[in-house]
Structure formats: structure tokens, C-alpha cells
Amino acid sequence: MLSAPFIQGGRDERTVVVAYASSARGQMGAVEIDVLPEQLMQLADKARSHIIDIGRSYYPNDLPGLAEKARSHIIDIGRAFHPEIGQSIGDQVKAEILSDTSGDLISLASEARSHIIDIGAKLSGRGLRSGSDPVTEIVEIDATPSRLAATAPDATQSPYHLLQIRAAGAWPAPRVGPGTVKVFMSQTGEDLIVSWAQADRVLYRNSQDGGWSDPKTLLFSDSLDLKKSYDILDQRIRHR
């Protein structure tokens, strides 16, 4: 678990969940990794480029004019989203521009881009989760420095990905006995089973209330071997 975290498919085709161990903290943890839609990346990059392009005529003397132009552009190019979402993103970016105190057009455009990504992440399939969750982070993978360079505001061709990483759970490292250790995880990463196999049985603990249950046992028989025991544990945890 220290060198090779356990990874499995998540609650839908866009997510995976990862369980890992930390020897420094003496803990096990799990995170959910969600690939954000490509349309959100395109919207954020195009909005940034547009703000820089038209901002030369408006910034800093006419923030209301720039804000309204940016809002209209976002709504226009955000057709991949529901109209209410495009409207909401446009309105919030308009407010972001109107409240600008940076004194720098590039910084303003980059802040608007980040704001679009943050809003889209909150609304993208996870709209019922609190947007102020402090244990969620957005990470860009394979983003090149030239993408956000001031000299290349429209550099949006190199491929990259936006990942939303959410802490799903943390527990003290469970006590296990001798034998092969195997981890089973729910589709959300919020529940774990840790098992250890012996010659005639599999013992295991369930995560519960930030800790672990007492050891439980699946004793082998003519109808229950190691593989079937693992299947039982996997079915018990997968849909929790």
C-alpha cells in the first residue's frame, strides 16, 4: 500500500477511487479522482483568451464594459452546458471582473479562468456536494507553461486534463494478523475492508466511525475457498 496504492473504478465512468497508506502518519486514506469535462477546460481557456484580447480596449478604464462583453462571450460559447449553468458562470465571471483590484489584465484573465473551473467543478455531476468542501482540490495534468504565458494568451492546443481530487476518508492503520493482506473499497472510497488470508480462513475488518470493526472471519469449507471469500467481501463493500 505504501509503494502501490490500490485503485479501482468509481461511481461512474469518469471517476476512480484510490486507497493508500502513510507510514509517517500511521494511517490509511482514500481519495476520489474525477476527470472534469473537456468542455469545461475549453470554456475556461477560451474565456481567458477573450478577456485578454478585448481587454486591451477596455482595461482598466471600463471594467463594466469588459465584464459585460466577457459574460456574453461565456454564455455564447458555453452551449455545451445547460443554459442555466452557462448563465451562472457568465454572471459570476462578470462579478469577478467588476471587483478586480489586481491592476493587471493577465492576472484578471487568469483569475477568471480559475473561477470558471472552480464553478464548473462544483456543478459538474457533483452539484449536491458542498462547494466549500476544504478537502477537494483541482489539479491540472500535462498543462504546459506556454498555455498561460502572457505572450501566448490563446495557446490552448496542447492536451491536458483537469482532475478533481476529493478526500474520501482517513483511518488509523488497522491491525492485521499474518497472511496476505488485501483491500476492498466502496465505489465512493468512503468505506474499506482490509483482509488477511490464512491457510483455512480469511479474516477482515470493516472501516467504521473513523476506525475499524473487530476482526471477522470467513472459514473455508467445501463450498467456500479463498476466491469466493474475496468475492463475498468485494460484494459487501462495493455498493456501500
The residues near 30 (Cβ < 8 Å, ≥ 6 apart) are: 17, 18, 19, 20, 167, 168, 169, 170, 185, 189, 190, 192
Q: What are the angstrom distances between the C-alpha of 45 and each of 96, 98, 108?
A: 16, 20, 13
Higher pLDDT residue, 147 or 37?
Answer: 37
The pLDDT of residue 155 is 46
* For residues 139-151, average pLDDT: 58
Give the Cβ contact number of residue 205 at 10 Å: 20
Is pLDDT above 90 for 222?
yes
* pLDDT class of 137 with cuts at 50, 70, 90: confident
The separation between CA 16 and the C-alpha centre of its own chain, rounded to angstroms, equals: 9
Q: What is the pTM of this model?
A: 0.72
Q: Are 175 and 227 in contact (CB under 8 A)?
A: no
Question: What are the two backbone dihedrals, phi and then psi, of residue 54, each rounded to the nearest 5 degrees?
Answer: -85, -15
Rounded Cα–Cα distance for residues 209 and 211 (Å): 5
Is pLDDT above 60 for 143?
no
Rounded Cα–Cα distance for residues 161 and 139 (Å): 8
Going from N- to C-terminal start, the domains of the chain cover 38-168
Over residues 63-89, the pLDDT tens digits come to 999 999 999 999 998 877 778 888 889
Is pLDDT above 60 for 129?
no
Is pLDDT above 50 for 128?
no
